[in-house]
Structure 1
């Protein structure tokens, strides 16, 4: 998952607060997208145009430390192999190269220690932000990214400027803030998506595919009503309580903002159309998870949020383990006392299939 220059990677290792042990929700989404990935390869991947290269190059942007990334790329690889077999091209694509990419601070050690021993691909790590070039021109055949594009390249400058009408005093996020704050976050998302798409347009081969799955705020739903943003409202209230108790200073709270934005499908579509280098082949809202799985408990939600946010809290708020425990224990209690689970349907996951079809 991405953020500013060095980023705020997920908690590494395999401990109780690690991303690898607290990303089952992300795995569910990958499961939901498998059929769509298969269909994307079957219907849109011109495999014959790539077979002469001898190798098929795939990248997972925002790979974290596993295990979801292995599951995702293995599914893509299997879909490509099946298409080759259906066309009688088994001998044409001999090798697969998978590039696992995330920020330089990502726990690549755990990632590569966890590589499946029976993998049918060559593996490489590519450190760096996906808000910029990561690969040589026209080399990638398939780009995958899941649960990463809600991370911005950084916090909008205006929300941290005391002289700006978008100064987000006393808050860590935008949903219930002044409209100027929301507008600043929306503009930052649009800017970042433009950079992301321009970079990928240079790296993906003509006819190459890109699959993006990301948390969205359904079209027509207010930012403040989305389930994910309500969760972060609870976290914000826990930090406010810590300010009142004197555990953290008001000034430090004022300086802290999360570099995340939950766009609507319409905003994503507008970004792609504005960029003009990719064509949208499919955009599907994945909503089954809200019905097929029981609502998460407070403890589960606290662990789910601690895995991605612990790093930024340690860096910018200087939180140690004791303060982190206090914060997320408080979050657990507030979540269980709230009616927030009623709004789980107000957030969704959107699957977007893009094909690179226009020269830069």
Structure 2
């Protein structure tokens, strides 16, 4: 194999694929990126961890077609440090690959292309397109609530499913048992009858990075075990989480009768300020609600106390409720409008937060004892 490629083009492609590769691998080939140069004047870069695979095509000047695999992180670091604007020559032969650019010469060990594992997609009967902006919105407004608890593996991703309500919709939800985030968007053509699927956390993270460079639409193809995202020059394929997502609709409160309306920025800044003294272990912030006045307070045995009053629109009975400050800030960070509705019942019941009843996103937060 022999090909010449512009540094910026190679760096961008490797930047996309190398992050899929785990730093530590018991199987040596999984540390490598597959580089395949074809006669059509392009190079295919591919990396996998056996659950997630990324495949990207970049433009190159190919003298001799061929394929090899080489350490993904080493090659990425080399290309990153090469001078800007340089032409990178890749030459592979006899279990070695030469990387030449200007006066720099590198010789890297390779492993055979035939040993490189490829995820077999199988049939992907459900196909639909989503605007990249919609997919970004779905990810940004839900992924902070994905659980990191490996024992509850079925919560380690975003659950996407369709639902027939007044209008057919596509819903995405994530929860870690303490908070729930859900986004509802119009159902795209082709999504009807799709199975409910749980897209793993790592796939969500890689997809979100790739979406920053996509302006148009993304084709989504899926079965009940695999999902593929076509993003122009890049294709991301992932196994789905094999588990049953809980019926989250049962925890979304429908009868919370105490309504508090606030400026989300003032609320966020107030919570952030008083939580400065909260201990790492509890992170609890107390809200004392009175008519049109909310007092935020934190008591820390090690650090002391903090309190701040913020104004809000509240006309129900006075009471106190506590929340994990970090969870509350994560939710407020996603509120884009100039008002947030907090629907409360009592100090022990789940609380609902949303911009308004027309907003695509809603959040449920479990209170804490304070």
Q: One fold, TM greater than 0.5?
A: no
Where relative contact order (Cα < 8 A, 6+ residues apart) is larger, the structure is 1
More strand as a share of residues: 2
Q: TM-score, normalised by structure 2?
A: 0.21
